[in-house]
Every structure is written in C-alpha cells, then in structure tokens.
A and B are shown apart, each in its own frame.
Chain A
Amino acid sequence: MNKRAVAAGAAALAMALSVTACGGDSGSSGDKNTIKLVAADYGDKKSNASKIYWDSVVKDFEKQNKDVKVEVQVINWNDIDKQVKTMIQSGNVPDLLQTGGYADKVADDLLYKADDVLSPKTKKNLIPSFAKAGEVDGTQYGIPWVSSTRVLFYNKEVFKKAGIKNPPKTWDELAETAEKIKKSKAADTPYALPLGPEEAQGESMIWELGNGGGYTDSGGKYTLDSKKNVETFNWLQDNLVKPGLTYSNPASTDRKTAFADFAAGKAGMLNGHPSLVQMAKAGKVDYGVTTIPGKNGPLKTTLGVADWMMAFKDGGKQEQIKKFLDFVYAKKMLKFDEMYNFMPVTNDALETMQSNGKHKDLQPFFDELDGARFYPLGDPAWDIVSAEMKKTGGKAAKEDPKKILGDLQKKAEEAAANTK
C-alpha cells in the first residue's frame, strides 16, 4: 500500500511536471537550410492574398535551389507587428521579415546589414532614394519592398453633379468644393478624412506637409506639436470637421472605410495610394487624380511610403537568405507590384512598368516620386512614435490639437531618449 501511494504520487508529479514542461521548449529550428519568412498580407480578398504570391515564389525558388527550403507565414497588417514582437521575445525569430518598419530592430542589433544579404547587383538595382530611406546612421539595413506615393482622388460624377469644374488646388478651394458637394447632396461624405488607428500618421503628415510642417526638423528632432502642425489641425477642425464636410468622428474612421466609401461612390474626394485605383475601377467609379492641395497651392512634396524587407542575424543563415533575396528581387519583383498595382523599388521593374504601357494609371504616382517625403523611418524611435500617433493622433481633429499633439511630442521625446 505504501509503495502504491508512492507510485501514485510519483505519477501525478510526473504528470504535473510534464504540463509545466510544455511551455519550456521554444522550437529552435535547427535546420540551417530552411529559411523562415514572415510577410504581411496585402490582399483584400481571398483571390489576391499575398500567400498566393509567396507560395508561387517559393515553388519557383525551390525548383532552382534544391538545397534551400523556405517556410512562409503570411500575417495580416493588424496583427503582424504584435506577432513578430512575440516571436522575438520568445526567441523564435524569423530569418526574413517583410513589414512596415525596420529601425526598431536595428536598435536592438537584430538585423543583417543590407550589404551582407544582397549581392552588389541586387543592391545596385534598388532605386537610390528608397535605399537611402533604409539607412540608419549611414548604414543600410532596411531593404525596400514596395512603395507608394499619395495623390488626391476625386469622383468625377460627384463633381459634375455639384457643378464643380476643376479639382481644388488649395485648402480653401478644397473646403469650398466640399461645401458645394454637401449642398448638392452629391455624396454622403464630401471629403473623406480617415484619422483612425489604421493610418493616422499618414493622413496627418499629408496635411501637415501642406502647411510646411512635418514630423521632424532638419536635425531629425521630433516637432510633432510645432506651431504649423497645430495650425493644420485647427484648420481641419474649423473648415472640415465642424461644418460636417467629412466624417463626424475622423479619429475612429479607418482608411479602409474611406477607401470603401470612395469605391462605393459615397465619398467626393480623398487622399489615396495606388491600391485605390483598382478599388475605384472595381466599383465602377469614374475618378480623377491630381496633386494633393496644400494651404497655398499644390504640394511640392507628397508623402512617400515604403514597406520593408529585413533579414535577422539570429539564425546565421546569411548565405541562404542572400540566395533567396537575390532571386526574389531579380525575378519576382514585377509580379508583386503588378498583382497589387504597387510602385516598384527596383530600377528594372520601374522601367518596365513605365514603358510597357500597362500601367498608365500609375503615371501620376510615378510623377510624384521625385519629391516624395518619407516618415523618419531610419529613427529607431519612429516605430513607437508611429504607434502612439495611430492610437491618439486622430483626436487632434476634434479636441484641442495643442494638447493632443503636445502629449504625442512628449511621448516621442521620451521614446527618442530611451532608444539612444
């Protein structure tokens, strides 16, 4: 009986221990020849999910390189940053990551330099302005993946109904145009102003650029609550939000809502990137595009956005990563850009897209490329600043901009001090 008790106790103990042991083993992929790639999903429906693209890329790559295997995990935009963070924290670091920002990982010394994982030929093929945006303190870590510039979209039919001949060139003209659309009831939302968490930092920057403002000064210090930026939001409040010429709660309206509204013919104008071209066409909206209006005239520098590819040092798979990246950037770039109507980041893809006549609708975006201004992407604190802006930045369109932007500035300064 005594022994039985001991045995039972031991068995129960072993059981309990095995339960605790479950959490201990973080699967370290020992196989040097398997690259783990985590990528964001650019698709908006099943038929154009990024998984489809990556699967076909991997298939072709593995056909040519029998010794290297690639595991792909595609995560949607809302979750990718959180999930990657968890991966890093638990030591389950991917080898390649394709997402929105890279500099925070440089600050933690997690990434290979671009030179280490790209052949000189591939590196030379990158459009210089984007390659430059991938630099932290003069060394390139971020490898541009796709890019876009922003222009003003307007619904021609709505304009016709409201008796508007020309698209607006200044803020005042824009407000006037919106007023006309409202009066004639040509569209539910005359100007769609999405300042919700999805991309508050994008729409804000476009408007601030229009007033000569922006996120940093020439020395790279944050100036989120500069006089010009506060002025910008005051103007938005007084001329668009309060008169009811846009959403009643811009801070809780996401970009995807605005895009969907425009594609459904419910919005008169909005700032958009190339994906909206496809959406508008699918919605049979007769749209026009023009340079985004600034306070006193069309913007000379519009917002340029790039998404990034980065390679992690953790697995030590430099050679395998290099092989894969060279393959993708040389042969599969154009396919991705054409799949989503994005703008390329490599010279050869840009040339092809500009010359093959299939992408006339992208020409206005290409035209803006030279003057594009980026977020302070190379600043290691930017990812925190951008996340804070997504959370609360939009409130500046309804509450006191000075207070909201002041809070953000305080957080940005703290973050900058912490990452140095």
Chain B
Amino acid sequence: MSLKAPPSPASRSRGRGGQSTRPARRASGGLARLGPLPWIAPVVLLILAVVVWPIVELIRTSFQNISISGVVRGSAGTDKYEKLFDESGFGHVIGYTVLWTVVVVSVTMLVSLGLAQLFNQRFPGRSVTRWALIAPWAASVLMTAIGFKWMLNQTAGVLNTVLLDLGIIDKSEDWLGSQSTAWPWMMFVAVFVSLPFTTYTLLAGLQTIPGDVYEAARIDGAGPWQTYRSITLPLLRPAFLVGVVINLINVFNSFPIIWAMTQGGPGSDTSTTTVFMYKLKETDIAESAAMSVVNFAMVVVLVLLFLKVSRWNEED
C-alpha cells in the first residue's frame, strides 16, 4: 500500500501514536535487514565497473591468443606467461624495477626529511621558498621529463655545453643513450618531482608536533640530535608512513619520466615493468596483459606487506 502513494504528513503524524505504524515498521524492518547495502550499492557498482571489471578483462586477455593486427584467435593457456618469463630482458627489468623503486623512494624520503625540517624553521623569505617548492609539483611530470631530456641531449644539451666549457669533459656525452648513465639521471628526475609532495606531507606532520614537548625535552637537557631521534621522528611516523606508501605506489608505477627520457631503451635496458609492459604491447598484446597481471600482483603484495609492517608498528 505504501508503494502506491506517499503517506501524507498528516497520516504519518497520526500513525506515530496509533495502530497504523505496524505495517510501516515491518516494511522498514525488511529494508533494515539489507543493512547499509542500498546506500553503498552505487559505490559498489561503480567499483565493480571501473576497478574489478577491467582487472577481470585484463586477466582474461592474458590467457588469449591475439594476433598482431588485433584479432582474437582463441585461448593461449599459460603460453603468454611462459613467453613473458622467457623474455631475455625479463630478469633485468624486474631487478631494475626494484632498484628504481627502492632508490627513488628512499632518497626522496631522506631529502624530504631535511627539506621539511628546513621549511619548518623561521627565516626571511620562508613563504616564497615554500611556494617555490611547489613548482616541480605543479609542472606536468611529462614536461619536466622532456625538459631534462633536452638538457641532457648530446648535441644540443645545456649540460654538455657547460661541462665542455668548464673543461670537465672533453667530448660531449650521450647521457641517456646507455643505461649506466641513463638510470641515475632518471632517478634524479624522479626524486626531483617527488620531493614537493613528500616534503609538504612531512612539513604538515612536523607542524602537528606540539611545541611543549620540545620545551620539556629542552628542560630535561636533551641535545638536538637526541630530540630529533626520540621526539620528532616517532611523532612524525604517521606522516612519514603516508609519504612512503604513496611514493612507493607512484614510483613503482612511474611511466612518463622513463618513457619521455629513454622510452625504456636501448632494448629494454632502462625499462621498469610498467614501461616493459607498454613496449610488449607493440608485438603481443596478450603478453603485455600478462606483464600487467604480474605488475598488479606485485603492487598488491607490496601494499599488503606494507600494511602489515605499519600495523605491526602501531601495536608496538
């Protein structure tokens, strides 16, 4: 009955005291049995559509045989995974992905700790420098990477010109042409673009530490290093953890820097798994999907591992 017409306010108010509340209450009890489901359903559907479905599709693709022109030719079983693990560059790519992530994240965190400390001090021009720090963040990562690519260019790059003029090198270097020099430069750029966000996260953390804790420490006669180690760092942990997690995921998945600077080449010498996956797409889209699945699994493991470690910290 209640589905046919909305109860008038009058009848509702009357019902509150009288007998007619019974059926209404029973109906809402039915809805209550669903719990919060009706309310989170849209979100769940959205997640199913934009997160779960692509993953299912991705995994399905990785077991298919797809011709280079893009036509599905049936199931491939686990062939594409075998082909992927057989790629001559695969081990190299995995190794360098780990190295890339570890180096970039740890250097970023270390430098940011220092920078955040610096920006937390009072000094003339602080607000200007704080604004300036945002610049690498505000600029598109792709633009930054392309900028560095040209600065490092062998014939036209400003770095070679400067080094040549200063007499530090006697022949212009092709910095991005081989992996021994390309990796350090790309890591440098990755750190450069990660600094602003991380520094601001840590700076925000620093500002939540109440001043009286420091005052107490000073009265107790703690030295600056001791204060930093036993007050600043422990109280900074939540902000630090956020910084590490977000950077881990960002850096692991980082694509534009490497793609813009070396395209992962020569061969796959300067590729991380993400870039490698993109390059596989040119020859075999299913194998590329297999790489994506492996990539996805690695991110999941990384995050689970991290959650575990950070929860352990909490209990501690």
Cβ of A86: which chain B residues have Cβ within 8 Å of it? 70
Q: A19-B49, A384-B283 are in contact. Are A252 and B6 (CB under 8 A)?
A: no
A17 interface residue per 8 A CB criterion: yes
Cβ of A282: which chain B residues have Cβ within 8 Å of it? none
Where chain A touches its partner, the secondary structure class is helix
- Considering residues B53, B177, B262, which has the most beta carbons from chain A within 10 angstroms of its beta carbon? B177
The smallest beta-carbon distance between A131 and chain B, in angstroms, is 22
Q: Is the CB of A85 within 8 A of B69?
A: yes
A261 to B263, CA, bound (A): 21
A50 to B3, CA, bound (A): 63
A169 interface residue per 8 A CB criterion: no
Cβ of A339: which chain B residues have Cβ within 8 Å of it? none
The smallest beta-carbon distance between A109 and chain B, in angstroms, is 8
Encode A394-416 as 1/0 by CB contact (under 8 A) with B: 11001000000001000000100
Q: Is the CB of A16 within 8 A of B6?
A: no
A5 to B42, CA, bound (A): 13
Q: Is the CB of A88 within 8 A of B70?
A: yes
B41 interface residue per 8 A CB criterion: yes
- Considering residues B46, B88, B178, B267, which has the most beta carbons from chain A within 10 angstroms of its beta carbon? B267
Q: Is the CB of A3 within 8 A of B46?
A: no
Selected from B31, B42, B265, B282, the residue in CB contact (under 8 A) with A81 is B282
A249 to B154, CA, bound (A): 11
A19 to B88, CA, bound (A): 42
A248 to B176, CA, bound (A): 11
A383 to B70, CA, bound (A): 12
Q: Is the CB of B265 within 8 A of A2?
A: no
Cβ of A414: which chain B residues have Cβ within 8 Å of it? 83
A332 interface residue per 8 A CB criterion: no
The smallest beta-carbon distance between A364 and chain B, in angstroms, is 28
A232 interface residue per 8 A CB criterion: no
Selected from B31, B65, B69, B178, the residue in CB contact (under 8 A) with A104 is B69
B163 interface residue per 8 A CB criterion: no
Shortest Cβ distance from B269 into A: residue = A395
Q: Is the CB of A384 within 8 A of B266?
A: no
Cβ of A392: which chain B residues have Cβ within 8 Å of it? 89, 266-268
Q: Tell me the residues in window 1-50 of chain A with beta carbons closer than 8 Å to chain B beta carbons.
A: 1-6, 8-9, 12-13, 15-17, 19-20
Cβ of A13: which chain B residues have Cβ within 8 Å of it? 41-42, 45
Cβ of A2: which chain B residues have Cβ within 8 Å of it? 2-3, 24, 27-28, 31
Where chain B touches its partner, the secondary structure class is loop
- Considering residues A1, A17, A395, which has the most beta carbons from chain B within 10 angstroms of its beta carbon? A1
Q: Is the CB of A395 within 8 A of B267?
A: yes
A9 to B44, CA, bound (A): 12
Selected from A107, A197, A418, the residue in CB contact (under 8 A) with B69 is A107
Our count of residue pairs bridging A and B at CB distance below 8 angstroms stands at: 129
B67 interface residue per 8 A CB criterion: yes
Q: Is the CB of A249 within 8 A of B67?
A: no
Selected from B49, B267, B268, B269, the residue in CB contact (under 8 A) with A16 is B49
A5 to B73, CA, bound (A): 47
A207 to B69, CA, bound (A): 29
Q: Is the CB of A20 within 8 A of B38?
A: no
A137 interface residue per 8 A CB criterion: no
B155 interface residue per 8 A CB criterion: yes
- Considering residues B45, B269, B282, which has the most beta carbons from chain A within 10 angstroms of its beta carbon? B282
Cβ of B215: which chain A residues have Cβ within 8 Å of it? none
Selected from A12, A188, A419, the residue in CB contact (under 8 A) with B67 is A419
Cβ of B267: which chain A residues have Cβ within 8 Å of it? 251, 391-392, 394-395
A196 to B264, CA, bound (A): 12
User: What would 6 A/B residue contacts be, using CB atoms closer than 8 Å?
Assistant: A13-B41, A16-B49, A88-B69, A104-B67, A104-B68, A387-B68
Given contacts A12-B41, A108-B67, A247-B174, 17 further A-B contacts (CB under 8 A): A1-B24, A2-B2, A2-B3, A2-B24, A20-B53, A82-B281, A82-B282, A88-B69, A110-B71, A188-B155, A249-B177, A251-B177, A251-B266, A252-B262, A387-B283, A391-B282, A395-B267
A residues with a Cβ closer than 8 A to B are 1-6, 8-9, 12-13, 15-17, 19-20, 81-82, 84-89, 104-105, 107-108, 110, 188, 196-197, 247-249, 251-253, 261, 266, 383-384, 387-388, 390-392, 394-395, 398, 407, 414, 418-419
**A-B residue pairs, 8 tightest by C-beta:** A249-B177, A251-B266, A88-B70, A16-B45, A12-B42, A89-B70, A20-B49, A392-B267
B residues with a Cβ closer than 8 A to A are 2-3, 6, 24, 27-28, 31, 38, 41-42, 45-46, 49-50, 53, 65-73, 83, 88-89, 154-155, 173-174, 176-178, 262-263, 265-269, 279, 281-285
